[in-house]
Structures are given as structure tokens and as C-alpha cells.
A and B are shown apart, each in its own frame.
Chain A
Amino acid sequence: MLDKSCVHYFIQNDKHLVVDGNSAAVHVVDELAYELIKSIDENDNLHSIDKLRGFINKNPKFAEVGDEVLELIEANLLFSENLLTDIPRQESVVKALCLNVAHDCDLRCKYCFASTGDFGGARGLMPLEIAKEAVDFLIVNSGNRKQLDIDFFGGEPLLNWDVVKETVYYGLEQGALHGKTFRFTITTNGIGLKPEMDDFINEHMYNVVLSLDGRKEINDKVRQTVNNHGSVYEVVVPKFQRLVEKRGDKSYFVRGTFTSYNLDFTEDVLHLSDLGFKEISVEPVVTDPSEPYAIKEEHLTEVLAEYDRLADIYLERLKSSKPFNFYHFNVELTNGPCIYKRLLGCGAGHEYLAVAPNGDLYPCHQFVGDEEFKLGTIGQGVLNEDLPNEFKDNHVLNSEICNKCWAKFYCSGGCKKNNLEYAGKLTTPNELYCSTEKKRLECSFYIKASLC
């Protein structure tokens, strides 16, 4: 039987592309192959290989291309059945922690999911003892995993800089003792960034995420100081340029948010590129639809068209003297993750946990402060034994919507917190997210096809 539920085909500029969702195969095809594949998909009678052979025999123009299509079908790379069922459940080990080292911030960004840094609670900093306990917790709970991730997050982690530094030193020391390697990441708004911090970050942080939305007027409209005095853009841009210039080849991202105020976000991506940044991520705000800056259904057409525009310009820039990397157009088509990783997704609630400044454990940074989702404490460990399994079992194959989606093994179901807020269920995806994610994947496949 031909499974047509997860096949997606689309034309972008001069490229015809076909995605087989069940196998995650992506094909670039010519017009004739596209016509045949579309005919198969639209013709309910063509539900088996025998029927398809008969159809091809009756249409001589498809004789040659038909052989190629049949070969892909027989190799389970087109109209393939969902063969990836009953995947064994993996043992749970914690391999990543998000340390909310500061529930405070020196900015008051309008769209902040963390309630401008305090996560809806008291403002405060994580004591070093809690941070060290978190390192110990991760080592003890990581089983045989060697590579462990720690994100310094907030709020603004630079407000608790000494604890960041001491935690890194402690992690390096303990990692060496226990055969573990830590990959540290820090996310900062840059306000308090000093040259000596650059050097430490560049030496010890595997990745650094620098928050900046793009053009000055766009950035400063939503990213504001506590007293709304002065330009955040003017303060942070030189600091980020200084850090990146010294960073060499190590990973970083300048990360922006676009809102309904800048649906022409391509201009912001290009502005960041023109500032000299080569690693860029700009993505839609996630917020309550009642907020004036929210991206809503009515904006979707414009947002999707803007990704197409960005893809065209991105390709031009890749071939020019000013190439840059746009994070959401990255896709790994030959050495991608295994099926387990694709089902685990972010790993929130079992592989990846967040630690509040007082040591409380949550499924991820998005849940911090939500008592319903408190898992335990860094001292006592995970006390709620049901929640981790609930997160683990809520993967794309167990979601009615995701399981029928061609993008399932690339997207892995999106952010579970967003799902929960949108539909009240971990496994029911946010339609706005789905639409933008599918568009970004289409652009990514198109870009790959254009470069091969």
C-alpha cells in the first residue's frame, strides 16, 4: 500500500521538491517527476504498486520517470509506510541543565516570557552552593553520557557573574574527576558585558547567545532599559561586535525576536549581517495573542512570504562576499540525528531540566515558577516520577496531528510549553508555530537543493 498521508510536494522558484514524512526523505525532482508524484497523490485509485505500474504503462510519457519513482517507493523513500513504530523507550538520564542564575534583569523587554526576569516571583540570584549542587546533580544523574550541557540563563546571567565563573571552574574540575565534558552556554542581553567577561566567555563557553532584534528602531521599541532611558541598541551593539571579533571560530548566535511591529524581519536579519555578525537567528515572538506586538493568524500570510523573501536574499548572500548563517534555514540531511533523538525532541522534563535560583527543579526554563510542574529540588532530586515519563511519551508518533505531518521528524513536535498554553496538551501543536516551522523547512530544503 502507498501511504500518502505524510507526503508533501512544493515548488519554490525553479525547484520542485518532494518530502516523504515517514522516512524523512527529501527529493529534488524535475517537472515530469513532480507531475507523476502529484498524480499519484491525487488519484485515490493509485493505492498500490501494481495499480501504479498499470497507470505508468498506460501513460508512456511516465515510462522512464516511473521507474525512478517505483524505485524510491520500493526503497521506502516515497509514499512509505510508517515503519518507525514501537520504538523502544530509552532509559532516562539527565544530560543538560538550564541554570537560572539570575531571576532579575537590567532590561524590561516588553515581550519577555520571564516577566522581565523574575519569572513571576521574587527577584533574586542563585547562590554558588546551589549552582555547585546542580553540577553535582548533573554528574550523578547523567549515567554513561560523557558530554553534558549547562546553560547559564535568567533573567540576565551577567548580574550573577561571579557565580557563573565559579560554576564553570567547578564544572571543569568535577568533570575531569568524573570523566565528563561540560559544554557551557550563556545567553545575555549584553548590557553589563565587559571586556574581561568577553575573554572568559570566549575561553570557556561552547556557545554564546547574544540578544539583539535588528534595526535600532525595531530593537529599542521593545527592548528597553528599566527606566526606558537611552538606546539599548547603542549600548549593546559595540559590545557584541567586540566579543564576536575576539571569538574566532567558536559558536555564537546573535538572536533576535520579531513581532507584529516588524513583519519585514528580513530587513533586521540583513541589518545584523551588515553589522558584521555571521551567525544569526531571528524568530517570531511567543506571547499572549492579546498583546499588541503578538504575531497572530492575520499576520501569517505576510510572515510566510517574508521567509521566502529571506531565503532568496540568503542564497544571494551565500554566493556573495557577505555570507551569513541563518539558524532556521539550517537542516542536516545526511548525518542527522537518530530516531531516538527525533522522538525526544528537546528532552524537557527528563533529559533537560531547569533549576530556579532557590534550587527548585522544573521540566525546562519555560516552566520555572509553575508549581504544577515542579519536579523536585536540586538537593532532593526529581520527586515527581510521573511527569518525566509524561514528557518522554509525548512525542510525534503519539500525537494524532504530528504523526500525520510530513515535517514530524525534522520538527520533533515543537516547544511543549507552547503546546500546553495553546491547546492545553503537550502533544497538540500550536498552528501558528506549525505553519512557520513548515515554511522554514521548505526554505531549508530549497536552499539545499539550490546549492547541490
Chain B
Amino acid sequence: MKSKHIKTLTNLGLKQTVITGGCGECQTSCQSACKTSCTVGNQACEK
């Protein structure tokens, strides 16, 4: 169905990544203030 009222910005498929994810090659995401890596959600998957 073509959406007229709603546009979904995400395409993350988190459930699927239970099977496909976990390679661990992404950069470490320190979340403390002094290291400037506050969230995990800003990183791209490197797979």
C-alpha cells in the first residue's frame, strides 16, 4: 500500500539482526561525556 499519511524513516530490521548480527567489527561506542561517543544509534553497521 502506498502511504499517504505516514513516512517511515527507519529500515533497521532489528529482529532479523538477532540472526545476522553480532560480528563485532564496529567501533567501540564509549558513552561517557569526555570521549564524544554518546549514543550507539549514530553508528553504522560495518558488516
Q: Do A and B bind each other?
A: yes
Q: Which residues of A contact B (CB under 8 A)?
A: 23-30, 32-33, 64-65, 67-69, 71-72, 76-77, 83-84, 87-88, 90, 93, 95-96, 98, 113, 145-147, 149, 151, 183, 187, 209, 253, 255, 257, 281, 283-286, 327-328, 330-342, 345-348, 351-352, 364-366, 409-418, 437, 440-441, 444-445, 448-449, 452
Q: Which B1-47 residues have a C-beta within 8 angstroms of A? A: 1, 3-12, 14-15, 17-18, 20-47
Whether A29 contacts B6 in the complex (CB less than 8 A), given A93-B24, A96-B28, comes out as yes
Known: A84-B14, A257-B33. A29 touches B9 (CB 8 A): no
Are B44 and A336 interface neighbours, CB within 8 A?
Answer: yes
Q: A332-B42, A339-B17 are in contact. Are A28 and B9 (CB under 8 A)?
A: yes
When chains A and B are docked, how far (Å) is the Cα of A343 from the Cα of B45? 14
Q: Given A24-B14, A90-B22, A335 and B45 touching (CB < 8 A)?
A: yes
Residues of B within 8 A of A352 (CB): 28, 30
Are B6 and A27 in touch, CB under 8 angstroms?
Answer: yes
B8 nearest in chain A by CB position: A27
Question: Of all chain A residues, which has the CB nearest B32?
Answer: A415
Q: Are B10 and A30 within 8 A (Cβ)?
A: no
Main secondary structure of the interface of A (DSSP, over half): mixed
Complex Cα–Cα for A441 and B42 (A): 10
Query: Bound state CA distance, A364 and B36, in angstroms?
Result: 14
Contact A327 B36 (CB under 8 A): yes
Question: B10: which A residues are within 8 A, CB to CB?
Answer: 24-26, 333-334
User: Which residue of A68, A77, A283 contacts B38 across the interface (Cβ within 8 Å)?
Assistant: A283
Query: With A24-B10, A69-B6 as given contacts, are A340 and B22 in contact (CB-CB < 8 Å)?
Result: yes
How many Å lie between the Cα of A69 and that of B3 in the bound state? Answer: 10
Known: A25-B12, A337-B45. 6 other contacts (CB 8 A): A28-B9, A30-B6, A33-B6, A284-B33, A365-B32, A411-B41
Out of A23, A67, A149, name the residue touching B27 (CB < 8 Å). A149
For residue B16, give the distance in angstroms from its CB to the closest CB of chain A. Answer: 9
Closest to B2 in A: A68
In the complex, chain A residues whose CB is within 8 Å of the CB of B6: 27-30, 33, 65, 68-69, 72
* Contacting residue for B21 out of A328, A340, A411, A445, CB 8 A: A340
A331 touches B41 (CB 8 A): yes
Q: Does the CB pair A64–B5 fall under 8 Å?
A: yes
**Chain B positions within 8 Å of A68 at CB level:** 1, 3-6
Instruction: Contact check, B7 vs A366: say whether CB atoms are below 8 A apart.
Output: no
28 A-B Cβ contacts within 8 A?
A: A25-B12, A27-B8, A29-B7, A30-B5, A84-B18, A87-B18, A98-B30, A145-B25, A149-B27, A253-B36, A283-B33, A286-B32, A328-B39, A336-B43, A336-B44, A337-B41, A338-B17, A339-B21, A340-B17, A341-B26, A341-B45, A345-B31, A410-B41, A411-B39, A411-B40, A413-B31, A418-B32, A441-B39
